[in-house]
Amino acid sequence: MKAISTVSKRNSKEIPDIVIGRLPVYLRTLRLLADAGRDVTSSQELGEHLGISSAQIRKDLSHFGEFGKQGTGYNITFLCNQLQKILNVDRVWPIVLVGAGSLGNAIANYAGFESRGFRIVAIFDEDKKKIGLEMGPVFVDDFANLKIRVEETRAQIAVIAVPTHVAQRVADQLIEAGLTSILCYAPITLTVPPHVRVEYIDPVIHFQHMTYYLG
């Protein structure tokens, strides 16, 4: 089996973002297979699990190297390790969370982050009643201390779990503090500079997508 080849920054930019978006789904499925005691899988089996053609899976993976042999499939542990390297989750990324309400509390107490490469290292809010409360692994800090704590923790990723009307202001301050990767739970499209990447999680959007098919 051939080892993965190094992907240059130039080549990385040429890889379609939709392909990058499917890699974490492949990784999650491979981990489930590994947890079930499986050692080997195939693109056909992965495709059946995910509703994606085996040809698409092979094409996606071919952007990064060769991971299996025809007729023998993929070694699950090996492919998991390679996808972790490609996605840069073979390390733990420090994350700051803004918003200590019900949603923020649920995010802070989610136990599945660290095993997948992420750790919440700071939580912020402006509500004086919440500052100092223990939430998940850390204590809630004053949002006014954001820049100092980002420098201390070397965080590069932020999560926004605040009401819509303050989300843009929070994003602006996160960017000013040096953060360039933001996961936003607020139902709003943020205005950010080109170098800042934002991902959105809005359950209502997904509900509305589903209800189209229920009509």
Per-residue pLDDT of the chain (215 residues; tens, 9 = 90+): 344 444 433 355 689 999 999 999 999 999 999 999 999 999 999 999 999 999 999 999 999 988 877 667 899 999 999 999 999 999 999 999 999 999 999 999 999 999 899 999 999 999 999 999 999 889 999 999 999 999 999 999 999 999 999 999 999 999 999 999 999 999 999 999 999 999 999 999 999 999 999 97
Rounded to whole angstroms, the Cα distance separating 185 from 31 reads: 26
Return the pLDDT at 59. 94
Task: Decide: 153 and 114 in contact? Cβ < 8 Å.
Answer: no
User: In the numeric block, which tokens belong to residue 112?
Assistant: 């599945």
CATH 3.30.70.100 fits 9-86, yes or no: no
Residues forming CATH 1.10.10.10 domain(s) in the chain? 9-86
| Domain 93-205, architecture per CATH | 3-Layer(aba) Sandwich (3.40)
Rounded to whole angstroms, the Cα distance separating 11 from 124 reads: 37
Task: Decide: 160 and 171 in contact? Cβ < 8 Å.
Answer: yes
Coil, helix or strand at residue 164: helix
Distances (CA, A) of 87 to 56, 79, 81, 163: 19, 12, 10, 30
Return the pLDDT at 137. 86
Rounded to whole angstroms, the Cα distance separating 137 from 109 reads: 8
User: In the numeric block, which tokens belong to residue 195?
Assistant: 């170098």
Residues forming CATH 3.40.50.720 domain(s) in the chain? 93-205
Number of other CB atoms surrounding residue 206 within 10 Å: 10
